[in-house]
Structure 1
Amino acid sequence: MGGFFSAQAANAAEEGESAVTAVHSSGEWTQYWQSHSQTNKLMVIDFSATWCGPCRFMEPAFRAMADQYTEAVFLKIDVDELPDVSRQWKVQAMPTFVLVRGGQEVGRIVGARKDELEKQIKGLLAM
C-alpha cells in the first residue's frame, strides 16, 4: 500500500523539490488514481492553468500545504494538458481543489481560497 506514492515522495525530498506532484499524462493520472483509490489516504488535486492569475497566486500556498501536511498526497493537474481528467472531475473554474479519500470526493474548493482549503485539509486529516 502506498509504494508508488512513497517512492515519489522520497525522490522529491532527495531533490529538494516540493511535495506537489505534477501529473502530465493520462497514463500518469491512471497510475496515481489506481494506487490511491484503494487507500484511505487524503489526495488533494489542484486543477489549474498556467495562464490563470488566481492559480499562480495559490501555487506557493499549495506547495507550503503539501510540505506541511505530508500525510496527504498533493497533485497538480493543468486543465489544458489533461482536459479529459478535468471533465471527469467536472472542473468549470480555476483553480479548483478536489479532496479525495478512498476513491470518493470528500471536499471541493473553487477559487483562490487558501484559508478554506487549509481548513478542509486539516479537518479531513483529523478524521
Structure 2
Amino acid sequence: MLVELEKDNLQEIVAEHKNVIVQYSATWCGNCRIMKPKFKKESAANEDITFVLADAEKFPESRKLAQVDNLPTFARFSSGEFKNQVQTNKYDVLKELVHEASSN
C-alpha cells in the first residue's frame, strides 16, 4: 500500500500498520524526485509493507519521528517503533531497507 501524507499524521499510520517505510522528501530535492518512482515500484512489489511519502518540510512532526536531517531519507518502522533510517539516492540501499522490513 502506498500513502501520500496530506496532514502531519505519520505517527497514526505507524501505529496502525506492522511494517512501514517512509520516504522523506521535498519538492526542491532532485534526488528525492529520482527516488520517488523507485519507491513506488517497491510499494507495488511489497504489499505486506505500508509505504508512505512524506514532505519533510510540510510535516515537521512526522519528520521528527526519524530524526531526518538530510534528503532523501528512508525510514523503517516496525510495530509502531522507529527501527532505522538511510539517507541515500541509491536504489540498492532502498531495496536493502525494504528487505529488512519484509523479513521482520
Unaligned residue ranges in structure 2 (runs of 5+): none
1:64 and 2:41 aligned: yes
- Asked if the contact 1:93–1:111 (Cα under 8 Å) also holds between the matched residues in 2, the reply is no
Tell me: higher relative CO, structure 1 or 2? Use CA pairs within 8 A at least 6 residues apart: 2
CA RMSD of aligned residues (A): 1.6
State the partner residue of 1:112. Answer: 89
Q: Residue 29 in 1 paired to residue 5 in 2?
A: no
| Residues 15 and 79 in structure 2, CA contact (< 8 A), matched pair in contact too | no
> Which has the larger Rg?
1
Aligned length: 104
Say which SS state the counterpart of residue 27 (structure 2) adopts: coil
Q: Which has more helix, going by share of residues?
A: 1
Identity of aligned residues (%): 22
The normalised TM-score by structure 2 is 0.88
When normalised by structure 1's length, the TM-score is 0.73
Look up the equivalent residue of 1:123 and give its one-letter code. Answer: E
Structure number having the greater strand percentage: 2
Flag the 1:125–1:88 CA change in 2: closer, same or farther, 3 A. closer
